[in-house]
Structure formats: C-alpha cells, structure tokens
C-alpha cells in the first residue's frame, strides 16, 4: 500500500474518502489490516465513520446518480473504459485507480441501458496476479474474486454464493487436499477462508 491522494475540496468526497469507504467495509473482515491502513492515512476512526455515513447518504439519496456518474463525481474520469461482450449483450467496464492498492482497479460494469451490473476491485491489466496454488497462498487482500475462482477451479467446482450484503461475495471452492471451503470477499478483494456451513 502507498500514500493516498488528497481528498475532495470543500468537504466533497474524493479518492481519499472513497478509500475510507472501502476500508470501513473491509474492517468487518480484517479489522487489523483496515486499522493499519487507516492509521497510515492519518485518519481517525471517527472521521472514517463520518465519511462512510456521507457515502451511504449519497448512495441512498432520492436524487442518487447512476453508479458510473457517482464514481466519476468522487474519483474523477475513469482510467479506462473497456467494451465487453457477455453472451449476447454489450457492456462497458469503467475502471478507476485506487492508490491504496496500486495493482488493482475499481471496476464498474454497466449493461446496455447503463445499469451497473457489478462494482468491485479487479487486477490492473498490466499488474501480475498472485500465484495461488494452495490455501497458504490466500493472504487477505492478496487476490480478487476472478483470480481465486480461476486458480481453485483446478481442484473442483467453484460456485458463486450470495454474499449476504452489498459489496460482499462468497465463493464455494475445494482446496487441493479436497477440503471444501468458502472464500469471502469484500469489494471483490479476498478477505479470508471459512468452513463450509
């Protein structure tokens, strides 16, 4: 992790504040890592909670903008917009840099009508992904949903499960030793392994 960009002027939410929103959610899974990152940013716990409150108010506002416009207002223009075909549908993947994780991008995938299908962190196109051959390689915040799914498909079926809350995802997978586990993600970033319920 590296230093973060300056926040928005005049109390507006900017890239720095958005990173606090990510950390606030990830603290539910990895409180120690989130606290270390918050302290490195020089932000108090109270300030992080206030930023999260403002973000939630913006998302839930009756005048809320679409996802792409919301992120554009907070993070600026995307670093890249990539056209993709999913089945018979054309979609666009809008990607923004996130200074806390320089090898990742926040990606918002939108359908033909502009509706956001997905909002999570993905590996930057020019960044090498982790080597994932065992459970020991799965360190918190080391891999994205796609990376874990691809790596562990070699050992058995991988299924996406209901994440239980916004910006959470879970994968049912099999470890190399045949043990079934659930990988938990927040904003698309790996948080930990849990026993299968």
pLDDT digits (tens, 9 = 90+) for 103-161: 999 999 998 888 888 999 999 999 999 999 899 999 999 999 999 999 999 999 999 99
Whole-angstrom distance between the N-terminal and C-terminal Cα of the chain?
Answer: 33
CA-CA distance, 178 to 68, in Å (whole number)?
Answer: 41
**C-alpha 150 chain-centroid distance:** 17
pLDDT tens for each residue of 53-90? 999 998 888 877 788 889 999 999 999 999 998 888 89
């Amino acid at each position: 992790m590296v230093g973060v960009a300056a926040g928005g002027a005049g109390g507006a939410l900017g890239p720095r504040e958005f990173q606090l929103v990510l950390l606030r959610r990830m603290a539910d899974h990895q409180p120690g890592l989130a606290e270390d990152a918050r302290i490195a940013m020089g932000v108090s716990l109270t300030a992080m909670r206030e930023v999260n409150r403002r973000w939630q108010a913006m998302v839930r506002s009756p005048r809320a903008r679409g996802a792409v416009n919301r992120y554009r207002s907070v993070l600026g223009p995307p670093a890249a917009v990539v056209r993709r075909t999913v089945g018979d549908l054309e979609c666009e993947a809008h990607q923004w840099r996130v200074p806390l994780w320089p090898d990742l991008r926040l990606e918002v995938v939108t359908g033909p009508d502009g509706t956001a299908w997905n909002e999570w962190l993905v590996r930057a196109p020019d960044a090498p992904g982790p080597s994932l051959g065992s459970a020991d390689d799965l360190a918190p915040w080391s891999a994205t949903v796609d990376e874990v799914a691809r790596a562990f498909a070699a050992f058995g079926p991988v299924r996406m499960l209901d994440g239980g809350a916004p910006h959470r995802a879970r994968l049912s997978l099999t470890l190399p030793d045949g043990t079934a586990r659930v990988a938990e993600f927040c904003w698309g970033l790996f948080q930990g392994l849990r026993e299968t319920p």
